[in-house]
Amino acid sequence: MSQQAGREPIYDAHAHVFTNDAARYPMDTRNAREGEDNLRRRIAADPITAERLRQWWEASGVVAGAAVQYNTIYKTDNRYLLDATYAHPDKLSAVVILDAQDPETPAQLTRMVIERGIVGLRLFGYPDATGAYPWLDSEAALRTWAVADRFGLTMVVMYAPGVASPAPLARVGSLARRFPRLRIALDHFGWPGGGDPQQLGLVPVLEAMRKHRNVYYKLTTINFRMFDQAGVDHAAFVRRAVDVMGADHVMWGSDVGNTQESYESMAAQARASAVLLDETERRLFLCDTARSLFQRGDR
């Protein structure tokens, strides 16, 4: 379905797809938070394929979106993601996961851009024993960043644990200065939460990132669930985030495929969270900011 009256178009910045065809697309479910057995049962019973996702998007007024490699199931094996997005180029854009420190990654990333039309690379990791994040900006990782910069990809960063922290954010800021033309998107908004209730979770270490105008912020259903637990109003947070970062730097993503909630409900929450924005801000937050980063040909 196309956009209905009263429903603004949405571009989903953060969707996960996966199949239960394990023979063709092997899985690596080690370290799954929900437990490997539970995850494999979910995969078998309720695969979120590209075809199903398209149907949900159509029903919910979502024009297109970024399919983000699902680390929980596939780690750095991007074969299903690449096949799914290649089969649906009008709707799904691919954001792959690779190990930035692997010496083979720059060449592999180059091939994926040229042969499969990917639009982004997602880096994911934990701190080392010293609390540092060398996987972000080691000498080897910088060669991967340089390839992304050369091709105009969007770099997506998700650091763990899920707390806004000076250690990874300082490295992201340094990378933003080193690659000023490269767009960097922080998954789950860089994990807002805690601090002064008047800040609505937008703690100073995150607010300080606004000086880096090539850094963008993905607000997802995971954030909304965290806000619910902390008593933070979704719409109030979005209003403050737009005031601080700008509507052209904040976007919504569902986390479908990982967050187990109906897509219709997630899309409704996205629109409701934008109720305090004006028409131009709503359009940017719900659709145009994400589309400018992830839509094929729009970057």
Other C-beta atoms within 10 Å of 111: how many? 11
Query: How much is the CA Rg of the chain, to the nearest whole Å?
Result: 18
Q: 264 falls in which pLDDT band (50, 70, 90)? A: very high
Please say whether the beta carbons of 86 and 37 come within 8 A.
no
Asked if pLDDT for residue 217 goes beyond 80, the answer is yes
Dump the DSSP string for 220-259: EHHHHHHHHHHT--HHHHHHHHHHHH-GGGEEEE--BTTB
Q: Distances from the Cα of 227 to the Cαs of 168, 237, 248, 268, in angstroms?
A: 22, 9, 22, 16
- Three-state DSSP at 131 gives coil
Q: Residue 122's closest CA among 187, 178, 213, 177? A: 187
- Three-state DSSP at 154 gives strand
42-53 per-position pLDDT tens digit: 999 999 999 999
Q: Which pLDDT score, from 0 to 100, does residue 228 have? A: 94
Mean pLDDT of 130-151: 97
DSSP summary character for residue 162: S
Asked if pLDDT for residue 201 goes beyond 60, the answer is yes
Return the bridge partners of 11, or none: 64
Q: Which pLDDT score, from 0 to 100, does residue 7 have? A: 85
d(CA 121, CA 81): 12
d(CA 48, CA 51): 8
Q: Which pLDDT score, from 0 to 100, does residue 3 have? A: 46
Q: Which pLDDT score, from 0 to 100, does residue 54 have? A: 98
Return the amino acid letter for 135. W
Q: Which two tokens stand for residue 141?
A: 């990782």
Could you tell me the domains of the chain? Answer: 10-294 (3.20.20.140)
Mean pLDDT of 137-141: 97
224-245 per-position pLDDT tens digit: 999 999 999 999 999 999 999 9
| 117 Rama sector, left if φ>0, alpha if ψ -120 to 50, beta otherwise | left
Average pLDDT of the chain? 95
61-111 per-position pLDDT tens digit: 999 999 999 999 999 999 999 999 999 999 999 999 999 999 999 999 999
Q: 143 falls in which pLDDT band (50, 70, 90)? A: very high
Q: 4 falls in which pLDDT band (50, 70, 90)? A: very low
- Three-state DSSP at 283 gives helix
Q: Any idea what the Cα angle at residue 287 is, between residues 224 and 74, rounded to 5°?
A: 65
Q: Which pLDDT score, from 0 to 100, does residue 199 have? A: 81
Dihedral sign, Cα of residue 168, residue 170, residue 171, residue 175: positive
Q: Which pLDDT score, from 0 to 100, does residue 208 have? A: 97
Q: 1 falls in which pLDDT band (50, 70, 90)? A: very low
Q: Is the peptide bond before 161 cis (omega within 30 degrees of 0)?
A: yes
Return the bridge partners of 128, or none: none
